């Protein structure tokens, strides 16, 4: 009965919110190699970033075109991952956009809204004419070409650009190392950003938002410990749910900007601390970058009160997401397609086996000391200070107030599964026993109520039979009256049991809801409650 009701409820929610969720399409490009003669050193993990971003977007339901040449180390780690990818050239970019635009037009014809994601991880530089350009395998992709070949041709309702590249002064952002630029200073990057945005006329595309990262220098911002670019990893962690401050299953630009600000806040060295720029689509400043909650996915729930820095790794040791929660509200992290994950915090770890769609509660995991600490060359500043600042609604409120972003609103379309998956051990806080007792008392209340109703009907039948005989024969049938009196007594007893067990069940369910972290989420103009009951 419960499963049937859950299925119908899920279908009802899906039907009611289908119009709010968008079909997603993506073009993901990764290129380790710099252009010939640029003087830039090859990158190590731009191909890994492209592969991970493509996998994440596919798990979120997007149709993805991936342009990347995976290096030998990545192909050894992920056998078969190169299948379905294409070299990152201008020709393959045009062909990929043609395929995506055909699919986007079909989605529009079916009456659905469409979001398009463009992701680039690689090198960039200033060309001879002073125009910024990104490096593809066969030559540069200039800023004008990006707008003409990608943004202007996109058939989506909204475009989202994520660019993680080198040469910050061209707004194609710092990943690699290049020659010093004596004409650019760390304190003037905001003016440079404004100049870039105006010169490139992004304002002519009010349906397009951009996520860009800059630093006060051009040092490499790839981190060997996570085998990824720092900014790219932060974006993926935030979109997995770490940046979702109001629990609506969607991440807006302001939420992602605040999350990345918190992630980098404790890095004091200006040469290492990235400056991030988020420009939401001008036509809808609250348009989510991604609605990550959907039926058919698995989620890890970090309940209210879970605090401190933690991270998720998949079964092959890949860094999936980092978090540092303030504990003010529950956090729901969408998991990918891996069958196994490890949640790690300090010297402890918990294994997560994903058995299907649903919610895995951290409170039900078994934590153990880590048997082996992974070692390697790491940047000490990243190791000690990246993700050091706790993130939650309080940090977000302060960030929005100081940065001038439009506050996030409750978005429709995010659907978290209603059932909690089993884990490798029962909950340490006794919530499993409370759940079982709540169901038992609920069942008792229903059974006692049914028995009370049955006894009441029996009493009515006996009373009717007694009255009919007394009227017809003038006989006081004491046996029938005894049946009536006994049925009335049983009705009262069962009714009392039903009321008492019903009140007990209600108390247990409310107690469980409080333990699961029912919280008040900030939302302009109203109060919103969210959580699992």
Q: Burial, 285: exposed, middle or buried (Cβ in 10 Å; 0-12, 13-18, 19+)?
A: middle
143: left (phi over 0), alpha (psi -120 to 50) or beta: alpha
Indicate the length of the chain as a whole number: 533
User: In the structure encoding, which two tokens stand for residue 327, read together?
Assistant: 């504990």
Q: What is the C-alpha R_g of the chain?
A: 29
Could you tell me the residue ranges of all domains in the chain?
21-220, 233-280+293-427, 431-519
Each residue's pLDDT tens digit, 216-237 = 444 446 666 667 778 888 899 9
User: In the structure encoding, which two tokens stand for residue 110, read together?
Assistant: 């079916």
Show the low-confidence residues of the chain (pLDDT under 50).
1-20, 167-190, 193, 196-199, 215-220, 373-382, 422-430, 512-533
Asked if residues 151 and 159 have their Cβ atoms less than 8 Å apart, the reply is yes
The correct answer on CATH 2.60.40 for the domain covering 21-220 is: no
Considering the chain, what is the average pLDDT of its residues? 75
Per-residue model confidence (pLDDT) at position 273 = 67
Asked if residues 321 and 242 have their Cβ atoms less than 8 Å apart, the reply is yes
Per-residue model confidence (pLDDT) at position 127 = 66
Per-residue model confidence (pLDDT) at position 119 = 94
Report residue 25 CA to chain centroid gap.
Answer: 17
CA dihedral of residues 517, 368, 420, 429 (deg, nearest 10): -50
Per-residue model confidence (pLDDT) at position 342 = 92
Asked if residues 410 and 248 have their Cβ atoms less than 8 Å apart, the reply is yes
Cα–Cα distance measured from residue 302 to residue 362, given in angstroms and rounded to the nearest whole number = 6
Q: Tokens 């049955």 label which residue?
A: 454
What is the pTM for the complete model shown?
0.68
Q: Which residues of 443-471 are buried (b: 16+ CB within 10 A; e: fewer)?
A: ebbeebbebbeebbebbeebbeebeeeee
């Amino acid at each position: 009965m419960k499963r049937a009701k859950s299925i119908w409820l899920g279908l009802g929610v899906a039907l009611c919110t289908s119009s709010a969720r968008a079909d997603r399409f993506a073009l993901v490009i990764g290129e380790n190699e710099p252009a010939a003669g640029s003087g830039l050193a090859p990158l190590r993990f731009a191909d890994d970033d492209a592969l991970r971003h493509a996998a994440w977007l596919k798990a979120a339901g997007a149709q993805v075109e991936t342009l990347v040449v995976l290096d030998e180390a990545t192909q050894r780690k992920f056998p078969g991952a190169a299948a379905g990818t294409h070299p990152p050239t201008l020709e393959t970019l045009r062909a990929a956009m043609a395929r995506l635009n055909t699919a986007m037009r079909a989605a529009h014809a079916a009456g659905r809204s469409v979001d398009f994601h463009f992701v680039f991880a690689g090198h960039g530089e200033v060309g001879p004419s002073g125009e910024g350009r990104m490096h593809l395998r066969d030559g540069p992709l200039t800023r004008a070409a990006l707008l003409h070949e990608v943004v202007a041709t996109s058939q989506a309702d909204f475009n989202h650009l994520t660019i993680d590249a080198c040469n910050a002064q061209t707004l194609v952002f710092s990943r690699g190392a290049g020659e010093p630029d004596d004409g650019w200073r760390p304190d003037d990057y905001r003016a440079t950003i404004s100049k870039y945005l105006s010169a490139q006329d992004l304002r002519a595309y009010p349906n397009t938002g951009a996520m860009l990262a800059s630093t006060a220098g051009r040092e490499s911002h790839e981190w060997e410990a996570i085998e990824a670019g720092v900014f790219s990893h932060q974006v993926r962690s935030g979109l997995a749910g770490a940046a979702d401050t109001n629990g609506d299953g969607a991440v807006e630009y302001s939420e992602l900007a605040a999350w990345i600000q918190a992630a980098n806040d404790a890095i004091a060295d200006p040469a290492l601390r990235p400056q991030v720029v988020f420009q939401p689509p001008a036509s809808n400043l609250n348009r989510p970058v991604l609605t990550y909650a959907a039926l058919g996915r698995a989620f890890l729930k970090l309940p209210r009160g879970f605090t401190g820095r933690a991270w998720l790794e998949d079964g092959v040791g890949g860094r999936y997401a980092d978090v540092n929660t303030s504990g003010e509200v529950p956090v729901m992290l969408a998991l990918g397609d891996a069958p196994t994950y490890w949640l790690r915090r300090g010297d402890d770890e918990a294994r997560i086996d994903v058995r299907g769609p649903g919610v895995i509660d951290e409170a039900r995991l078994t934590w153990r000391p880590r048997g082996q600490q992974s070692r390697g060359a790491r940047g000490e500043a990243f190791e000690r200070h990246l993700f050091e600042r706790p993130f939650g609604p309080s940090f977000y409120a302060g960030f929005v107030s100081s940065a001038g972003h439009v506050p996030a609103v409750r978005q429709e379309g995010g659907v978290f599964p209603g059932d909690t998956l089993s884990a490798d051990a029962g909950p340490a806080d006794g919530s499993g026993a409370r759940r079982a007792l709540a169901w038992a008392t609920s069942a008792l209340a229903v059974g006692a109520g049914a028995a009370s109703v049955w006894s009441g009907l029996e009493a009515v039948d006996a009373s009717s039979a007694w009255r009919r005989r007394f009227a017809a024969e003038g006989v006081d049938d004491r046996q029938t009256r005894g049946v009536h009196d006994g049925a009335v007594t049983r009705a009262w007893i069962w009714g009392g049991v039903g009321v008492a067990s019903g009140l007990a069940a209600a108390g247990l369910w409310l107690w469980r809801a409080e333990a699961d972290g029912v919280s008040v989420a900030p939302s302009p103009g109203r109060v919103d409650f969210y959580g699992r009951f």
